[in-house]
Copies of this chain bind each other. A is one copy, B any other.
Amino acid sequence: MTRPTARRGAGRPRTPVLSRDRIVDAALELIDDGGTFSLGLLAERLAVKPSSFYNHISGKDDILAGVQERITDAIDAGMFERLPWADAVVEWARAYRAAFVAHPHAIALFATAPVMGAGRTLRMYEQVVTGFRAAGWPLEAIIPAIVAIESFVLGSALDAVAPATILEPGPDAEAVPLFAAAVSARDLRAAAENMTAADLAFATGLRAMIDGLAASASR
């Protein structure tokens, strides 16, 4: 039955209530709940005062960076060691998008200061590059392809959390008949395939991009 090693001359040990991890945890929860994110609200949740944060983090941006890390760290790239290239890329892109879409109110974070930072992340990239290399990709073509996929994934995640109305013809439908018909046909198809409109666009684009990349690699 040990107790925390007593520091020299200290009275009672006083376990701190805050830590960077605990702050980032609570921040992600607060963001996921929607509504506004402010240090005042965050402090309230942790039964603490806003000024207390500054013993553990350098400011609001530091907290947000921690949240971003937490989300991207959930992305796995192990599929490149198990699956053929095309299947692995599809799986990876899906997992990537899913990690963003699981935190819709946090996505704006990635938009302004895009993606990825930690050391875990570099290991993921190593796995992905290895998968491309094993499939015969020339070294200088790999990163552009990966960045292209990431750009598509981020754009699709933003689309997925966007209000569904942005692409609706609205009252001016008769002025743009073909567009209106195309949207209706899309809605019918999405319903029939039991997907959201955003899912359908993502599946379409991912399929196309992987096919296109595969074709360019074998050319």
A residues adjacent to B (C-beta < 8 A): 107-108, 111-117, 119, 122-123, 125-126, 129-130, 132-133, 139-145, 147-156, 158-159, 162-163, 166-167, 169-170, 172, 175-179, 181-183, 185-186, 188-189, 197-198, 200-213, 215-216
When chains A and B are docked, how far (Å) is the Cα of A153 from the Cα of B152?
8
8 tightest A-B contacts by CB? Answer: A148-B205, A208-B212, A111-B111, A155-B155, A151-B155, A212-B212, A147-B201, A140-B185
Q: Give how many copies assemble into the complex.
A: 2
Given A166-B114, A172-B122, CB of A188 within 8 Å of CB of B147: no
* Chain B nearest CB, measured from A92 CB (Å): 15
- Taking CB atoms, residues of chain B closer than 8 Å to A205 are 144-145, 147-149, 151-152, 209
